[in-house]
Chain A
Amino acid sequence: MLRETVAFEPSLCSGCQACMLGCAFRRMRVFTKESSIYIEANHLFAEPKMILHPSCDMCPEFETPMCIEFCPTGALRLGRRFC
């Protein structure tokens, strides 16, 4: 079965971590990096990495998940995965 997920294109990611802020804000109404999505991009000259925590529910109340809404470069987008 196919389910929606957050797809990541590392070559487009700038490491701004706005996705993490958006995700955490939706759940906790504060700004923190403790979110369901994690972007490791603090090592220059290396490709960023994305980790999606199982707690991600794809923001069902929104048309677009918060992390994708606030991604400025298109590195995050809606994707599908087998489950």
Chain B
Amino acid sequence: MHGWVGRVLHVNLTDRKWEIRSSDRLDFLGGRGYGASVLFDAVGPDAHPLGPDNLLVFSSGPLTGTLFPGSGRLSVVTKSAVTCGYGSSNVGGHFAAEMKFAGFDHILVSGVASDPVYLSIMDGVPEIRDAKHLWGKTTWEAEEAIRKELGRETRVACIGPAGETKALVACIIVDKGRAAGWSGSGAVMGSKNLKAIAVRGHGAVSVADPEGFLAECRKAWAAIGRSRVMGQMKRYGMLGISGMDGLFSGGPQGVKNLREGQWEGHKTLKLKEVVFRERFGEYRFGCFSCPTPCNQTYRIPGDDKDHSGKCLGIHANTVRAFGPNLDIDSPEVVVRATSLVAQLGMDLDAVTAVVAWAFEAWEKGILTSADTDGMELTWGNSQALLDLLWKMALREGFGSVLADGVRNAALAVGRSSDRFAMHIKGTGLNEKGLREYVGWALGIATSTRGAGHLNGAPLTEDRQLPKEVSRRHFGIDTAYEPAAYEGKEHLVFYYERLKAVIDSLGVCYCHSHWYDENLYGADELARAFHLATGMAITGQDLMRVGERIYNLEKAFNILHAGFSRKDDFPPERFFDQPVKTGRYQGAVLDRAKWEELLTRYYRVHGWDAKSGWPSDARLRDLGLGHVADRLKECGRLAEG
């Protein structure tokens, strides 16, 4: 077998047994596609996300571990503890490649261990080890302790205290600062009493056509080397591109629980990329086989007392989360909060959504100090943020109200506070541009993992390129027009399939058409896949695989969470509160146009316009007959 290493590890923690099987489901490629396929078949609609029947899938792709650029991506797939539907995360670092060198394409974890354990895989040999001594430790402490036990080169994916308390804002941390966020994956891992998975191996990934594959890798690396955006990424990281400055500067921001689109200039200046780089920047950090290391370690000089003065990876969404969304303009606080969420094992997008909601509820007088353990949740109160992070992770006092995310917190508090709970399908929002960029908003609102711009949301809408370029790349005129509704269904349809393919091949989305239309797209990926695995495929066929994966995820959501058309809307705020200042002053979503856009979006997919459910014909055409049958049994299959 080429590309894949050919083995899957199935672990049942309830009876502490494991089994090794051959890699299968190759028509779903690997990574996210493999996870979606196995999850659909193995987890029933009655399975509780935090119960023994849920499955936690760690999955690499056929290009993972090779010299293809950005080949270090890992997908973590599970039934979402946040939406009760499909859950997936995608994380970089070195874990996925090391997992393949240790002999496995995928690791599937089911059951619940009676006591805390961790799973080690050293050169193909799995072992379920006691983790009582690691329970209660932060992700950094746990990773260091495991390295002492298993060797310095071990790569670790683990949970922190937040995962142990099954906080739904918990995630899985890889390499101390890379987060497999979304979906409450950390809570799922904690519910299984699984503290960590540690991998180390001396194995190899072979490819079908070594010379051809190397030539393809060289071409992809060279294209990245020529790209202006990738040059910026390499020099200034993600923060330099999409943060407070960079190529797309002057664009939208998400301010004070996303109710405003532009932050005051003097505050914006305090959180520019150069501030973090020059004041706190230390070492560059690249994920495995990455030509554009977008990560950096940061350290507040002279402050080592509790390790919260240093962190890895301040990105655009990090600054948005702990800056404008909470009206905090201190770069030191951004460093500390980034450090704490990594050490405690929390998803910063989910965290900022719920904390910003609490700040707004305080402002409106819905929450008082009687609710908040005496804390004053005023905008910009950075100490309250740092205290709340600990309280949420440990489920202490008011933190226990926030620990399960913004939708659940608003339900618990009541008093009409759900009006400003910023979530879609229960998934907290940490997004800019929901009023300004229509295609971006559509991609976020229809995402199969609840919300988030890393499914179908395009990055084209602020580039202001001519119609001819739009037509050449996407077959529509409006790809670069932020306020246009026409054609955006095609743009989102394109990117959601491309992203599904990229996540399933185990490579990085940043090096693709998403950031720069001159980088790899479906045709280049199809060539690399062919040369790696020996299995011939066209770019068009690869996009069809992406569509199959997306439909499977959609069907999982319909079966498990009952999602339909009504769930594909951004919160009311984005329809009735226009942007007040800046370049996009007056921008707001138009409900009638959104309804029409949604209808066109469903039609492009072959889904029913009224319910948003897939049709029998389209599912069978995609080779998902068994999925159509399951939906039909539940009465949730569209006619046609």
Interface residues of A (CB under 8 A from B): 11-18, 21-22, 24-25, 28-34, 40, 42-48, 70, 72-73
Whether B206 is near chain A, meaning CB under 8 Å from some CB there, is yes
The reply to whether B205 and A72 form a contact with Cβ atoms under 8 Å apart is no
User: Is residue B289 within 8 Å, beta carbon to beta carbon, of the partner chain?
Assistant: yes
Query: Whose C-beta in chain A lies nearest to the C-beta of B214?
Result: A25
In chain B, positions 603-638 with a C-beta closer than 8 Å to chain A are: none
Extra 14 A-B pairs, beta carbons < 8 Å, given A14-B284, A72-B291 = A14-B295, A16-B289, A22-B67, A30-B206, A30-B207, A31-B204, A31-B207, A33-B202, A34-B204, A40-B153, A45-B283, A45-B299, A72-B234, A73-B284
Judge whether A70 and B286 touch: CB under 8 Å.
no
Residues from chain B with Cβ under 8 Å of A40 in the complex? 152-153
Q: Which residues of chain B from 35 to 60 have any CB-CB distance to chain A below 8 Å in the complex?
A: none
Given contacts A31-B67, A40-B152, contact A17 B204 (CB under 8 A): no
Instruction: Tell which of B101, B214, B283, B297 has the most Cβ of chain A within 10 Å.
Output: B283
- B312 part of interface (Cβ distance < 8 Å): yes
Residue in B closest to A48 when the chains form the complex, CB atoms: B283
Does any Cβ of A come within 8 Å of B376's Cβ? no
Instruction: Say yes or no: B176 contacts A21, CB within 8 Å.
Output: no
Is B192 in contact with chain A by the CB < 8 A criterion? no
* Closest CB pairs A-B (n = 6): A14-B286, A16-B286, A14-B293, A32-B204, A30-B204, A14-B284
Q: Are A31 and B65 in contact (CB under 8 A)?
A: yes
* In the complex, residue of chain A having the shortest beta-carbon distance to the beta carbon of B296: A14
Chain A residues within 8 Å of B289, by CB:
16-18, 21
Tell me the smallest distance from the CB of B200 to a CB of chain A, in Å: 10
Within the complex, the shortest CB–CB distance from A45 to chain B, in Å, comes to: 6
Closest B residue to A47 by CB, please name it: B283
A48 and B310 CA atoms in complex are apart in Å by 17
Asked if B290 contacts A18 (CB within 8 A), the reply is yes
* Cβ of B446 under 8 Å from chain A: no
Which B residues lie within 8 Å of A18 (CB)? 67, 289-291
Closest A residue to B294 using CB positions = A14
CB–CB B207/A17 < 8 A: no
Mask, B126-141, CB within 8 Å of A = 1, is 0000000000000000
Q: How far is the CB of B229 from the nearest CB of chain A, in Å? A: 15
Residues of chain B with a CB closer than 8 A to A12's CB: 284
**Which range holds the interface residue count of chain B?**
35 or more
Q: Does B282 contact A45, Cβ atoms closer than 8 Å?
A: yes
CA distance A15 to B282 in the complex (A): 14
Quick check: B297 and A32 within 8 Å, CB to CB? no
**Contact status A17-B67, CB under 8 Å:** no
B203 partner residues in chain A, CB cutoff 8 A: 32
Interface positions of B (Cβ within 8 A of A): 65-67, 94, 101, 152-153, 155, 175-177, 202-207, 210, 214, 221, 234, 282-293, 295, 297, 299, 310, 312
Q: How far is the CA of A25 from the CA of B210 in the complex (A)?
A: 9
Cβ contact within 8 Å between B286 and A72:
yes
CB neighbours of B286 from chain A (8 A): 14-16, 72-73
Contacts of B295 in A (CB 8 A): 14
Chain A residues closer than 8 Å to B210, beta-carbon distance: 25, 29-30
9 pairs from A and B in contact (CB 8 Å cutoff):
A16-B288, A18-B290, A29-B210, A31-B204, A34-B202, A34-B204, A40-B153, A45-B282, A46-B283
Q: How far is the CA of A28 from the CA of B203 in the complex (A)?
A: 12
Determine whether the beta carbon of A42 is less than 8 Å from that of B152. Answer: yes
**Cross-chain contact B67 with A21 (CB below 8 angstroms):** yes
Q: Please give, as numbers and ranges, the residues of chain A lying within 8 Å of B310 by CB-CB distance.
A: 45
Closest Cβ of chain A to B4, distance in Å, is 12
Q: Are A16 and B287 in contact (CB under 8 A)?
A: yes
**Is the Cβ of B101 less than 8 Å from the Cβ of A33?**
yes
A24, A25, A48, A72: residue with the most chain B Cβ atoms closer than 10 Å: A72
Q: How far is the CA of A12 from the CA of B65 in the complex (A)?
A: 22
Minimum distance in angstroms from A46 CB to a CB of chain B: 8
A70's partner among B65, B67, B202 (CB-CB below 8 A) is: B67
Please, how many angstroms separate the alpha-carbon atoms of A24 and B291 in the complex?
Answer: 18
Q: Which residue of B lies closest to A13 (CB)?
A: B284
A70: chain B residues at CB < 8 Å are: 67, 221
Which of B282, B284, B285 has the most CB atoms of chain A within a 10 A radius of its CB?
B284
Q: Out of A32, A44, A47, name the residue touching B285 (CB < 8 Å).
A: A44
- Known pairs A42-B175, A45-B310; A32 contacts B284 (CB<8 A): no
**Which A residues touch B206, using CB under 8 A?**
29-31
Given A31-B65, A48-B283; A42-B153 close (CB under 8 Å): yes
> A44, B66: Cβ atoms under 8 Å?
no
A31–B175 contact, CB under 8 A? no
A residues less than 8 Å from B175 (CB atoms) = 42, 44
Cβ of A43 to closest chain B Cβ, rounded Å: 8
